C-alpha cells in the first residue's frame, strides 16, 4: 500500500501546484494549457492511486473530503493573491516547503489511522484492551452491548505469572459499525477499569525484487551461490569460518531461531537440515518472504548447495517458522504478539520480525509486554526498521521497547535509500539490505531489497552468539554488536553495521566476564 500512497500524494501535489500556476497564467494561452494539462494529469494520478488503496469506503470518503477542502482553500487563497506578485511567489515557496516538511507526510499518515482490509479479505476492526483485572469485564459490558461488540482473551501464553498480557482482551467491531470506532474507543477509554487501549493494527511484509550483485568475492565455503552474497564479505564471514576451522569452537547449546513471517518452505534443499518444524501448518510459504529471511539467517553452510549463512554449521543454530502473516503478506498486531509468545514458550533464542508498518500509537504497550515476556524466557527479539525512508519511531513493532531494530545499508555500507532511520531507537544497528540473494520456495533462490533482509543477518549472528553463550541478554548482545560494528558515513541514521568476525572475537574474549 505504501507505493500507492506515495503516488496518491504525488498526484495531489501535482494537481495543487498546477492549479496554483494556472491562477497566474490564465491570461497566457500557451502556459494556461500546460497548467491545465498538469492539473488533469495530477488529478488522474490521484484518482487512480486513491481507488486502489485498501481502506474502507467510509475512510475514503473522509480523506477525499479533506483533500478537496484543502485543494479548494489553496485555490481561493491564490486567487486572492493574483494581484500581489511578490506575495504570490512567496506563498508558493511557503506552500512547497509545507508540502515537503509537514502536509505531505500528514496526508500519507492518515492512511495509517483508518481501518484497512484485514489480511485474508475479511473486513474487520479490532481493539486490544487491557483491563485492570478479569472482573473488569462487567464494567465494559454496557459498551459491548450498545455496539454489539465481540470480546475474547487476546493472547495465548503458558506462563502468566510475570506479565500483564493475560489482562488483555480483543474486541471486534461489526463491519457495519466500523464508522463508529472513534466513539467506541472514546467510551471505553473513560471506564475506570480500562487500563490501556490500542488499535490491533495491520502489519505487512513487503517483497522488493532486486538485481543479482556481481561480486569478485571468493568465499571459503563450497556453496555455489555464495559468490552472489556481497553481504557475507562485508560481515567478515571468511574470517569467521577461518576462526572456527582453526579453533574448533563448539556450541554450548544449539540456538533456536524463529522466523515470524509468511511461513517457511521447510523442505527447501538449503534449509531442511537446519529446519525444525513445530507445526506442519507453518512449513509452507506461498509468498516466499519468510523463506527468504530464513535463508539469510540459517541456510546450511558448506553443503554444496545454494547459499551460505553466518552460521558455520548445523550444530550452532536451527530455524523454525511461525506463520503470522497471511497469503497476501499481512497480519494483525494480535497475530504477531501471539507468535512472539508461542516462540518464547517454545524456547526461542532469537525471534526475527521482518515486518511492520506505520503505527497510530506512539507507545506500543502490548508489543513491549510481549517482548518483555520473550526476554524473560531467554529470547532476543530482532525487528526490521521499515522501508519508507522515515523515522522508525513511527513504525511498529520497530518502536517497541526492548527490541533490536535493524536498518538497511547498501553495498557501500551507506544508508539504503528506502530504509527508515533508527537514530532515536535505543537498540539500533544496521546490516546489508540491498541485492540480498537468498532462498525462495521450491528450491529456488532470488535477490531482494529491504530492511526485511537486513534483520535476519542480525538474527543469524545473534543466534550464533547465543549458541556459544546461551544466557546473553539483549543489552549484552547489543553492546557487542555496537562496539564491534563498522561506522558508515550515515551511522547517526543507521547505527553501526554489524561485523560478524569482530563480534564473535569479542564474545570469545569476554566469555568469563559475561557469565558473571
Q: Provide the annotated active-site residues.
A: 261, 289, 452
Neighbours of 370 (CB within 10 A): 30
| CA distances to 45, 72, 88, 316 from 21, in Å | 18, 14, 10, 64
Answer yes or no: are the C-beta atoms of 366 and 337 closer than 8 Å.
Answer: yes
Query: What secondary structure does DSSP assign to 419-459, as a single string?
Result: PPB-TT-SSEEEEE-SSEEEEETTTEEEEEESHHHHHHHHH
Rounded to whole angstroms, the maximal C-alpha distance in the chain is 82
Residues contacting residue 504 through CB under 8 Å, at least 6 positions apart: 240, 243, 464, 465, 468
Residues contacting residue 434 through CB under 8 Å, at least 6 positions apart: 210, 408, 409, 410, 411, 416, 449, 453
Answer yes or no: are the C-beta atoms of 195 and 365 closer than 8 Å.
Answer: no
User: Could you tell me which residues are beta bridge partners of residue 431?
Assistant: 408
Nearest to 257 by CA among 335, 347, 333: 347
CA pair distance 309, 315, nearest whole angstrom: 13
CA pair distance 43, 86, nearest whole angstrom: 28
What element of type H or E holds 130? Answer: strand 125-131
CA pair distance 198, 128, nearest whole angstrom: 5
| CA distances to 404, 438, 456, 491 from 430, in Å | 10, 18, 11, 9
User: Cα angle vertex 265, ends 264, 270, to 5°?
Assistant: 110
Q: What Rg do the C-alpha atoms of the chain give, in angstroms?
A: 25
Nearest to 372 by CA among 340, 399, 348: 340
Quick one: cell of 196?
490501556
Nearest to 209 by CA among 452, 446, 451, 448: 448
Answer yes or no: are the C-beta atoms of 466 and 252 closer than 8 Å.
Answer: no
Amino acid at each position: 500500500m505504501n507505493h500507492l500512497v506515495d503516488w496518491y500524494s504525488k498526484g495531489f501535489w501535482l494537481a495543487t501546484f498546477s492549479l496554483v500556476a494556472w491562477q497566474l497564467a490564465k491570461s497566457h494561452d500557451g502556459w494556461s494549457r500546460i497548467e491545465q494539462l498538469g492539473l488533469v494529469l495530477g488529478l488522474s494520478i490521484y484518482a487512480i492511486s486513491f481507488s486502489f488503496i485498501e481502506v474502507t469506503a467510509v475512510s475514503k470518503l473522509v480523506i477525499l473530503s479533506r483533500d478537496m477542502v484543502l485543494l479548494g482553500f489553496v485555490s481561493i487563497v491564490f486567487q486572492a493573491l493574483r494581484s500581489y506578485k511578490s506575495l504570490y511567489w512567496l506563498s508558493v515557496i511557503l506552500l512547497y516547503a509545507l508540502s515537503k516538511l509537514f502536509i505531505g507526510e500528514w496526508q500519507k499518515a492518515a492512511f495509517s489511522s483508518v481501518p484497512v482490509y484485514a489480511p485474508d479479505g475479511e473486513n474487520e476492526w479490532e481493539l486490544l484492551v487491557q483491563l485492570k483485572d478479569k472482573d473488569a469485564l462487567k464494567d465494559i459490558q454496557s459498551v459491548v452491548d450498545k455496539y454489539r461488540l465481540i470480546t475474547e482473551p487476546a493472547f495465548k501464553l503458558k506462563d502468566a505469572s510475570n506479565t500483564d498480557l493475560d489482562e488483555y482482551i480483543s474486541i471486534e467491531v461489526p463491519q457495519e459499525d466500523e464508522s463508529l470506532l472513534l466513539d467506541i474507543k472514546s467510551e471505553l477509554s473513560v471506564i475506570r477499569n480500562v487500563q490501556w487501549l490500542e488499535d490491533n493494527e495491520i502489519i505487512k511484509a513487503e517483497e522488493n525484487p532486486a538485481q543479482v550483485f556481481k561480486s569478485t568475492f571468493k568465499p571459503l565455503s563450497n556453496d555455489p551461490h555464495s559468490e552472489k552474497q556481497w553481504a557475507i564479505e562485508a560481515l567478515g564471514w571468511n574470517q569467521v569460518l577461518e576462526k572456527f576451522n582453526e579453533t574448533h569452537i563448539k556450541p554450548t547449546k544449539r540456538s533456536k531461531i524463529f522466523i515470524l513471517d509468511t511461513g517457511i518452505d521447510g523442505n527447501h534443499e538449503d534449509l531442511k537440515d537446519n529446519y525444525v518444524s513445530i507445526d506442519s501448518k507453518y512449513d509452507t510459504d506461498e509468498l516466499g518472504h519468510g523463506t527468504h529471511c530464513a535463508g539469510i539467517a540459517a541456510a546450511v553452510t558448506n553443503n554444496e548447495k545454494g547459499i551460505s549463512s553466518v552460521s558455520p554449521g548445523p550444530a550452532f543454530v536451527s530455524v523454525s517458522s511461525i506463520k503470522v502473516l497471511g497469503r497476501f503478506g499481512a497480519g494483525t498486531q494480535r497475530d504477531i504478539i501471539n507468535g512472539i509468545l508461542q516462540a518464547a514458550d517454545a524456547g526461542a533464542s532469537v525471534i526475527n520480525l521482518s515486518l511492520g508498518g506505520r503505527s497510530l500509537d506512539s507507545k506500543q504497550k502490548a508489543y513491549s509486554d510481549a517482548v518483555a515476556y520473550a526476554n524473560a524466557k531467554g529470547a532476543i527479539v530482532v525487528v526490521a526498521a521499515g522501508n519508507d525512508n522515515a523515522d522508525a519511531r513511527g513504525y511498529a513493532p520497530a518502536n517497541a521497547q526492548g527490541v533490536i531494530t535493524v536498518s538497511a545499508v547498501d553495498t557501500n555500507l551507506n544508508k539504503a535509500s528506502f530504509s527508515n532511520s533508527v537514530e532515536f531507537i535505543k537498540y539500533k544497528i544496521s546490516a546489508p539490505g540491498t541485492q540480498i540473494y537468498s532462498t525462495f520456495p521450491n528450491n529456488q533462490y532470488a535477490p531482494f531489497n529491504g530492511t526485511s533482509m537486513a534483520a535476519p543477518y542480525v538474527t543469524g549472528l545473534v543466534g550464533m552468539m547465543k549458541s556459544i553463550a546461551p544466557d546473553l541478554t539483549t543489552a549484552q548482545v547489543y553492546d557487542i554488536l555496537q562496539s564491534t560494528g563498522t561506522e558508515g558515513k550515515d551511522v547517526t541514521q543507521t547505527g553501526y553495521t554489524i561485523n560478524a568476525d569482530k563480534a564473535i572475537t569479542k564474545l570469545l574474549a569476554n566469555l568469563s566476564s559475561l557469565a558473571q
